[in-house]
Structure 1
Amino acid sequence: MQQTWRWFGPKDLVSIDDVAQAGVQGIVSALHHVPTGAVWTPQEIAQRQAEVSRLKDGSPSGMAWDVVESLPVSEDIKKQKGDWQAHLDAYRTSLENLAAAGIEVICYNFMPVLDWTRTDLTYRMRNGATCMRFDLADFAAFDLHILARPGAVDDYDDALREEATRRFADMSDADQAQLAKNVVFGLPGAAESFGLDEVRAHLAEYDAINEAQLRAHLVDFLSEVIPTAERLGLRLCCHPDDPPVPLLGLPRIMSTEAQYKAVMDAVDRPANGITLCTGSLGARPDNDLPGMMERLGDRVHFLHLRNVTRETSEIRGSFFEAEHLGGDTDMVAVIEAALREEARRRAQGRADWSIPFRPDHGQDILDDLGRRAQPGYPAIGRLKGLAELRGVIAALEPRVDA
Structure 2
Amino acid sequence: MYGLEQTWRWYGTNDPVPLSHIRMAGATGIVTALHHVPNGKVWQPEEIEKRKGLIKVSGMNWSVVESIPVHEDIKKRSGNFREYIENYKQSLRNLGDSGIDTVCYNFMPVLDWTRTDLDYLLPDGSRALRFDKIRFAVFEIFLLKRTNAEQGYATAEIEAARILFAGMGEDEKQILINNIIAGLPGAEEGYSLQEFNKVLGAYQEVGDAGLRENLYDFLREIVPVAEESGVSLAIHPDDPPFPILGLPRVVSTEADARQLLQSVNSVANGLCFCTGSYGVREDNDLPGMVKRLGDRINFIHLRATTRDVHGNFFEADHLDGDVDMFEVLKALITEQSARIQNGRKDHRMPMRPDHGHQMLDDLSKTTNPGYSAIGRLRGLAELRGLERGIRRSLSF
The reply to whether TM is greater than 0.5 is: yes
Instruction: Indicate yes or no: 2:372 matched with 1:381.
Output: no
Q: Which residue of 2 aligns with 1:320?
A: 314
Measure how far apart 1:401 and its partner are.
4.2
- Offset, 1:187: 4.5
> Structure 2 length normalisation: TM-score?
0.97
> CA RMSD of the aligned region, Å?
1.1
Say whether the 8 Å CA contact 1:307–1:328 is kept in structure 2.
Answer: yes
Counterpart in the other structure of 1:306 = 303
| Aligned equivalent of 2:42 | 39
Q: Distance in 1 between matches of 2:53 and 2:119?
A: 33
Do the aligned residues in 1 keep the contact of 2:112 with 2:186 (CA within 8 Å)?
A: no
CA contact (8 A) 1:340 1:400 kept: no
**In the TM superposition, what is the alpha-carbon distance from 1:33 to its structure 2 partner?**
1.2
Q: Does residue 356 of structure 2 align to residue 362 of structure 1? A: yes
Residue 18 of structure 1 pairs with residue 12 of structure 2: no
Deviation at 1:21, TM superposition (A): 0.6
Aligned mate of 1:67, from 50, 64, 67: 64
Work out the CA distance in 2 between the residues paired with 1:36 and 1:401.
46
**1:339 maps onto 2:336 in alignment:** no
SS at match of 1:2: coil
> Equivalents in 2 of 1:120, 1:309: separation in Å?
14
The corresponding residue for 2:56 is: 53
Opposite residue 354 of structure 1, the aligned amino acid is R
Residue 28 of structure 1 and its aligned partner are, at CA, apart by: 0.2
Q: In the alignment, what sits opposite 2:291? A: 294
Q: C-alpha separation between the residues in 2 aligned to 1:189 and 1:47?
A: 20
Match of 1:252 among 238, 249, 258: 249
Equivalent position to 1:228, from 225, 230, 254: 225
Q: 1:29 maps to which residue?
A: 32
Question: Alignment partner of 1:367: what SS?
Answer: helix
What is the match of residue 159 of structure 1? 156
What is the aligned counterpart of 2:165 among 164, 168, 171? 168
Secondary structure at the counterpart of residue 176 of structure 2? helix
CA contact (8 A) 2:7 2:31 kept: yes
Q: CA deviation at 1:191?
A: 4.9
What SS does structure 2 have at the residue aligned with 1:65?
strand
Cα distance in 2 between the residues matched to 1:400 and 1:215: 40
**1:190/1:208 Cα in 2 relative to 1: closer, same or farther (>3 Å)?**
closer
**Pairing 1:183–2:186 present:** no
- Alignment match, 1:329: 323
**Residue-by-residue CA offset, 1:158-195 (whole Å, 9 max, x unaligned):** 01101111111111111111101001144515453122
Q: Give me the whole-angstrom Cα distance separating, in 2, the residues matched to 1:295 and 1:400.
A: 20
The structure 1 segments of at least 4 consecutive aligned residues displaced by more than 2 Å after TM superposition are: 189-192, 398-402
Superposition deviation, residue 212 in structure 1: 1.1
Residues in 1 aligned to 2:184 and 2:163: alpha-carbon distance in whole angstroms:
30
Match of 2:127 in 1: 130
CA contact (8 A) 2:111 2:187 kept: no
Kindly indicate whether residue 388 of structure 2 is the aligned counterpart of residue 394 of structure 1.
yes
Q: CA deviation at 1:43?
A: 1.3
In 2, are the aligned partners of 1:343 and 1:401 still within 8 Å (CA)?
no
Point out where structure 1 has 5 or more consecutive residues left out of the alignment.
Answer: 55-60
TM-score relative to the length of structure 1? 0.96
1:5 to 8, 12, 20: 8
With over 3 angstroms needed to count, the CA separation of the structure-2 counterparts of 1:189 and 1:291, relative to structure 1, is: closer
Instruction: Provide the secondary structure at the position in 2 that maps to 1:292.
Output: helix
- Could you say what secondary structure the match of 1:336 adopts? helix
Percent sequence identity is 49
> SS of 1:160's equivalent?
helix
Find out whether 1:282 has 2:275 as its counterpart.
no
In 2, distance between residues paired with 1:192 and 1:39?
A: 18
Q: Compare 366-375 and 356-365 and name the one that shifted more.
A: 366-375
Cα contact 1:339–1:400 (8 A) shared by 2 = no
Q: Is the 8 A contact 2:304 2:317 kept in 1?
A: yes
1:58 maps to none
CA contact (8 A) 2:112 2:187 kept: no
Q: Is the 8 A contact 2:301 2:354 kept in 1?
A: yes
User: What is the CA deviation profile of residues 269-300 of structure 1, one whole-angstrom value per residue up to 9, with x for unaligned ones?
Assistant: 11000000000111111111111111100000
What is the Cα deviation at residue 153 of structure 1? 1.0
Aligned residues: 393
Retained in 2: the 8 A contact 1:104–1:233? Answer: yes
Distance 1:187 1:92 in 2: 26
* Contact 1:70/1:107, CA 8 A, preserved across alignment: yes
* CA shift for structure 1 position 25: 1.3
User: In the TM superposition, what whole-angstrom CA distance separates every residue of 1:202-240 from its partner, at most 9, and x where no partner exists?
Assistant: 111101111111000000000000000011111001000
Describe the SS at the equivalent of 1:37. Answer: coil
Cα distance change of structure 1 residues 183 and 191 upon mapping to structure 2, 3 Å threshold:
closer
1:200 matched residue in structure 2? 197
Is contact 1:33–1:191 with CA below 8 Å preserved after alignment?
no
Alpha-carbon displacement from aligned partner over 1:2-54 (angstroms, at most 9, x marks no partner): 00000000000000111011111100000111111011111111121122123
Amino acid at match of 1:176: K
Amino acid at match of 1:351: K
Cα distance in 1 for partners of 2:161, 2:113 equals 21
Counterpart amino acid of 1:250? Answer: L
Query: Which residues of structure 2 form unaligned runs of 5+?
Result: none
Go from structure 1 to structure 2 and tell me whether the alpha carbon gap of 1:395 and 1:185 turns closer, same or farther (over 3 Å shift).
farther
| Pair 1:147 & 2:138 matched | no
